[in-house]
Amino acid sequence: MKINKFIDSLSIKVGILAILTLGGCIGTTYPYMRTETAQRIAAPAWMIKRDISASPFVLRAYERIHNRGGVANIYIEGENSKTNSSKTPFNPIALHLASKDKAENVIYIARPCQYTGMLSVSDKCNNSYSNEASFSEDVIESYNIALDDISKRYNIRAFNLIGYSGGGAIATLLTAKRSDIISLRTVAGILDHDTYTTLLKIPDMSESINPVIEAVTLTKVPQYHFIGGRDNIVPPAVIHSFLQSMPPTNCVQTMLVQEADHNTGWVDKWPDLLELPVSCYNNTKNISETIIMAPTMPQNLPKIVREKPIKP
C-alpha cells in the first residue's frame, strides 16, 4: 500500500513537472513561433529573409527580386495590438498583402523591434517606438536608410510604397521625403495620428511626425487610400482629416471597402485592389469635396497601361 501511494505521489509530481516544463517551452518559444509564422507566409511567395542595418534599428525584411534595375513594391507593416506586450505581430497583415503581389520585385519591411532589435546589441528596444514615437525622426530615417540600402544592393530605380495601418503613416512620410517614390498606397492607414488618438482615446503620439502636415506636399504623387467600412480602429474620419488638409489635386483616389475591418477583409481582396490604376487624371477636383468614398470597385476607369520596369 505504501509503495502504491509513493508511486501515485511520484506520478503526480512528474506530471506537474512536465506541465511546468511544457509551459516554460511555450513561453520561451512564442517569439520564435511568430517568426516561423512570417517565414511560412513568405516562403511560398519566394520571399527571402534579410535583416537590414538601419541605425538605430535592425529592420527585418522579406525580399523577392527578379528584376535588378527595375521598380520595387515596398510593403511596410503595421503595429501589433496595443493589448499584447510583444511588438512582433501574431498576424502580419502587410506580409500577407506582399505575398499576394505578383510583381517582379516585392519587399516587405517590418517595424522597428518586430522580429529583430537594435543595431547596437547593448541597446534595448524602447516601448516608445511602439507608442508615442511610432513615427519619430529616428524611425523614418531608419526606413530611409533601408530604402537606400535596397536601391544600392539591387540597383532599384524607383519604389511603389504600400503601408498598412501605422505603416501607412511611415510610407506617407517617406514619400514626402524622397524623390524616387512613384506611387503611394495605404491600407487602413493612420494618416493623421492626432485624429486617430483622439477617436480611440489613447495617449498622444507626442514624439511622432504627423503625416497630415505633409499632405500639402504630396499633391503630385499618385495615391490610393483604402479604408475599411467596419474599421473601428482607424475609421474613415482619419483619412478624411488627411484629405481635407490637401489642396486640389487629381492624383488622389480613395475607396471604402465596406466589409473590411482593421485586421480582416483585406488579404483576399488585395490582388484586385492592387490592379486598380494609381495615376494622376486629367480632371482636377477639390479633394475636400470628394471624400465620400465608393463602397465598391469603381466602374469605367480610364484605360491606363501599368508601368513595366525597364530591362537593364
The pLDDT tens digits for 177-190 are 999 999 999 999 99
Is the per-residue pLDDT at 306 higher than 80? no
Which residue did the predictor score with more confidence, 86 or 267? 267
Q: Tell me the C-alpha distance between 130 and 111, whole Å.
A: 9
Domain ranges of the chain: 31-289
**Helix (H) and strand (E) counts in the chain:** 7, 8
SS3 call for 25: helix
Q: What is the mean pLDDT of the chain?
A: 85
Of the listed ranges 22-31, 102-111, 192-201, the least confidently predicted one is 22-31
CB 172 within 8 A of CB 163: yes
Q: Tell me the C-alpha distance between 99 and 93, whole Å.
A: 10
pLDDT at 282: 78
Average pLDDT over residues 213-223: 97
Q: Tell me the C-alpha distance between 286 and 148, whole Å.
A: 35
CB 161 within 8 A of CB 225: no
CB 173 within 8 A of CB 191: no
Nearest to 67 by CA among 160, 150, 152, 154: 154
Is the per-residue pLDDT at 18 higher than 60? no
pTM of the model: 0.82
Is the per-residue pLDDT at 4 higher than 60? no
SS3 call for 282: coil
Is the per-residue pLDDT at 289 higher than 80? no
What is the residue type of 214?
A: E
Is the per-residue pLDDT at 146 higher than 80? yes
SS3 call for 180: coil
What pLDDT band is residue 100 in, cutting at 50, 70 and 90?
very high
What pLDDT band is residue 80 in, cutting at 50, 70 and 90?
confident
What is the residue type of 140?
A: I
What pLDDT band is residue 255 in, cutting at 50, 70 and 90?
very high
Is the per-residue pLDDT at 301 higher than 90? no
pLDDT at 124: 87
Average pLDDT over residues 164-169: 98
Residue 185 cell numbers, joined: 498606397
What pLDDT band is residue 175 in, cutting at 50, 70 and 90?
very high
- Cα distances (Å, whole numbers) of residue 189 to 7, 119, 202, 234, 306: 61, 27, 17, 7, 24
pLDDT at 1: 53
pLDDT at 283: 62
Q: Tell me the C-alpha distance between 198 and 116, whole Å.
A: 31
pLDDT at 81: 60
Is the per-residue pLDDT at 23 higher than 80? no
pLDDT at 30: 61
Topology of the domain covering 31-289: Rossmann fold (3.40.50)
pLDDT digits (tens, 9 = 90+) for 237-246: 999 999 999 9
Average pLDDT over residues 21-49: 75
Which residue did the predictor score with more confidence, 87 or 94? 94
> Directed axis angle between helix 236-244 and helix 193-200, to 10°?
150
Where do the H-state alpha helices sit in 43-124?
93-99
What pLDDT band is residue 86 in, cutting at 50, 70 and 90?
low
Is the per-residue pLDDT at 16 higher than 90? no
- Cα distances (Å, whole numbers) of residue 263 to 23, 68, 185: 29, 33, 17
Distance of CA 259 to the CA centre of its chain: 20
Cβ within 8 Å of residue 112, ≥6 positions away: 57, 59, 125, 129, 139, 142
